Amino acid sequence: MNLDEQPASTDRKGLLAETLVHRILTMQLEPGAVLDEVALSEEFGLSRPPVRELMRQMAGEGYVDLEANRAARVSVMSYQTLRDFLIVAPMIYVGTTKLAAVNHSAGDLAVLKQTQRKFRQSIADGDVESRVIFNHQFHLTIGRMAHNPYLLPSLKKLLIDHARIGKIFYRQNGGPRIQKDQETAALQHDQMIDAIEGHDAERAGEVVRAHLEIFRSDVALYAVPSGMQGELEG
């Protein structure tokens, strides 16, 4: 089962997985929060073994931290996490987006366009939570379109923290600059789609690099204590 899939599962374990992913990405479960296996078992009508199995799976994908003789916790975040993300994300996002331009199918492209429509609607509605989720789905879809088993796991891990950083940032900031940057980000999504559809890998890579630079500059300006901006720039 893929934890990043959004359609509702018909089985209880699948529903638990989808719910936890949503809660983690949208910060309903804060980084470091304890995941109570007993409470989750009761909430979703499961016994403890499948819940433990799911915790191990989610730990492997980067959602959960597991330590011996301690309860599972939502994976932690720190300024080092933020710095590491901003250093590594351009390499992985550019690589996957360029490969998507080469390897995608018509069906892949239709899914990407549908996700982009939902992303734009979330901006129009001022819905921060949906914006975070559909941005996550947009870049994850591109990662799948690349059809590369080496890049996709790294992209998935980055996208977890991308979503959480975005949720922290955008729920606290909503001024004219941020609104303008959101409109630019949506336009860049459209440009990525056009480049991918046109099999223009170099253009796709250029757009996603500029896209990440907007995110980096916004977060560095608003979410980082004075004196740390230089550190985030590497």
Question: Mind listing the pLDDT tens digit for each residue in 29-41?
Answer: 999 999 999 999 9
Residues 212 and 139 grouped into a single domain? yes
- pTM greater than 0.85 (yes/no): yes
Within-domain flag for 4: no
Q: Which one, of 202, 177, 208, lies nearest residue 190 by Cα? A: 208
Within-domain flag for 1: no
Domain span at residue 177 reads 79-232
For range 213-218, the mean pLDDT: 86
Q: Which one, of 54, 60, 18, lies nearest residue 37 by Cα? A: 54
DSSP code string of 201-234: HHHHHHHHHHHHHHHHHHHHHHSS-TT-HHHHT-
Query: For the range 154-159, what are the long-range contacts, defined as Cβ-Cβ under 8 Å and sequence gap of 24 or more?
Result: 154/88, 154/92, 155/92, 155/93, 155/96, 156/4, 156/61, 156/62, 157/61, 157/62, 158/85, 158/88, 158/89, 158/92, 158/93
- CATH number, position 174: 1.20.120.530
For range 17-45, the mean pLDDT: 96
Share of the chain above pLDDT 90, in %: 73
Quote the pLDDT of residue 45.
94
- CATH number, position 53: 1.10.10.10
The pLDDT tens digits of the residues spanning 130-155 come to 999 999 999 999 999 999 999 999 99
3-state SS class at 132: helix
Band (pLDDT 50/70/90 cuts) for residue 9 is: very low
